[in-house]
Amino acid sequence: MSVNLKGRSLLTLLDFSPEEIRYLLDISEQVKMESRSRLRTERFKGMTLAMIFEKRSTRTRLAFETAFAEEGGHPVFLSPNDIHLGAKESLEDTARVLGRMVDAIMFRGYKQETVEKLAEYSGVPVYNGLTDEFHPTQALADLMTIEENFGRLKGVKVVFMGDTRNNVATSLMIACAKMGMNFVACGPEELKPRSDIFEKCQEIAKETDGSISFTSNLEEALASADVIYTDVWASMGEEDKEKERMALLKPYQVNERVMEMTGKSETIFMHCLPAVKGQEVTYEVIEGKQSRVWDEAENRKHTIKAVMIATLL
């Protein structure tokens, strides 16, 4: 099957087929090898990327900015203080102007509606660097990291511990469903996955021979898990709920006992970062030999570069 993603936006992985995701992962592997060999090409020479940030960022900004610049392109950082994003000028008009001046747009912020409107009105590829609902570039890096460790994706069991309805958990669930993996959301009932997306992922998994499930029971979730994944207990913009979340999520902390409950010494630990060591994960686990968080962070760059190569060239 021939895959052509030129001109496409990445707003959520729900819009991408398993074959298209496989294509992005293959390019990711290629550009990682190029990076390791210090090969520098200029695929984006003469191109410009607008990077709009409503939310702070370390990995997403570095990944997009360095990936685009390494390929000879010019990334332009834009904060809400720099442009009229829905203030004094409609979002639609801002999108139209950007589309006339740049080759692609990256957005990291709050509303999914914002990134969707940018894609609708700009006429250029738009990349979702995180919204309150989805974080697709993180999920691609997660898939790459898992495949590097196990040599495959199909059939790998991934357990997400904690707040299973957040944007990272949601995008990872979608990615696992698309690639025929076994995803278990493990957390309190109060923070279970959004029902419409959960049911959609279950439907997708039936077609790919994967599985999607939710449980509050640690023993049930962790048995034979290949990957244990977690995220902060209070996401950006939810800091006022931290005490409430700590009470709800304390039983789902990833510690050495939790890692042992898989019954497999080869189980790996993953986290999208930044992490609050001592809350959602203990220092011993995130800094231990089963942790792959730094590989995962690096792979943000390679997968993001792959997305841009596939959609711009």
Q: Could you tell me which CATH class the domain 136-296 is placed in? A: alpha beta
- Alpha-carbon distance of 118 to 32, in angstroms, equals 29
Q: What is the mean pLDDT of residues 256-278?
A: 97
DSSP string, 206-273: HHHT-EEEEES-HHHHHTT-SEEEE--SS-TT-GGGHHHHHHHHGGG-B-HHHHHTTS-TT-EEEE-S
Q: Are 160 and 186 in contact (CB under 8 A)?
A: yes
Specify the pTM: 0.96
Q: Are 287 and 245 in contact (CB under 8 A)?
A: no
**Catalytic annotation, residues:** 108, 135, 138, 231, 272, 300
> If we measure between CA atoms, which residue out of 95, 208, 93, 87 comes closest to residue 156?
208
Q: How far is CA 66 from the centre of its chain?
A: 18
* 3-class secondary structure, 126: strand
pLDDT digits (tens, 9 = 90+) for 164-184: 999 999 999 999 999 999 999
Which pLDDT score is estimated for 1?
Answer: 63
Q: How far apart are the first and last CA of the chain?
A: 19
Residue ranges of alpha helices (H) inside the chain are 18-36, 59-70, 91-101, 112-122, 136-150, 167-178, 195-208, 218-222, 242-249, 256-260, 283-286, 293-312
Which pLDDT score is estimated for 287?
Answer: 98
- Alpha-carbon distance of 283 to 256, in angstroms, equals 10
pLDDT digits (tens, 9 = 90+) for 195-223: 999 999 999 999 999 999 999 999 999 99
- Alpha-carbon distance of 122 to 97, in angstroms, equals 7
Pick the range with the lowest mean pLDDT from 41-55, 67-81, 83-97, 259-273: 83-97
> If we measure between CA atoms, which residue out of 180, 177, 172 comes closest to residue 209?
180
pLDDT digits (tens, 9 = 90+) for 47-60: 999 999 999 999 99
Tokens of 116: 């969707």
Those residues whose C-beta lies under 8 Å from the C-beta of residue 36, and which sit 6 or more positions away, are none
pLDDT digits (tens, 9 = 90+) for 96-107: 999 999 999 999
Residue extents of the structural domains in the chain: 13-134+299-312, 136-296
- Alpha-carbon distance of 105 to 98, in angstroms, equals 8
Q: Which residues pair with 230 in a beta bridge?
A: 161, 271
Pick the range with the lowest mean pLDDT from 35-39, 125-129, 214-218, 303-307: 35-39
The confidence band for 237, taking pLDDT boundaries of 50, 70 and 90, is low
Tell me: domain 13-134+299-312, CATH 3.40.50.1370, correct?
A: yes
Please determine, for residue 9, whether its predicted confidence score (pLDDT) is greater than 80: yes
Please determine, for residue 114, whether its predicted confidence score (pLDDT) is greater than 80: yes
Tokens of 162: 């904690």
Share of the chain above pLDDT 70, in %: 97
Q: What is the mean pLDDT of residues 65-75?
A: 97
Which pLDDT score is estimated for 301?
Answer: 98
Domains 13-134+299-312 and 136-296 share a fold: yes
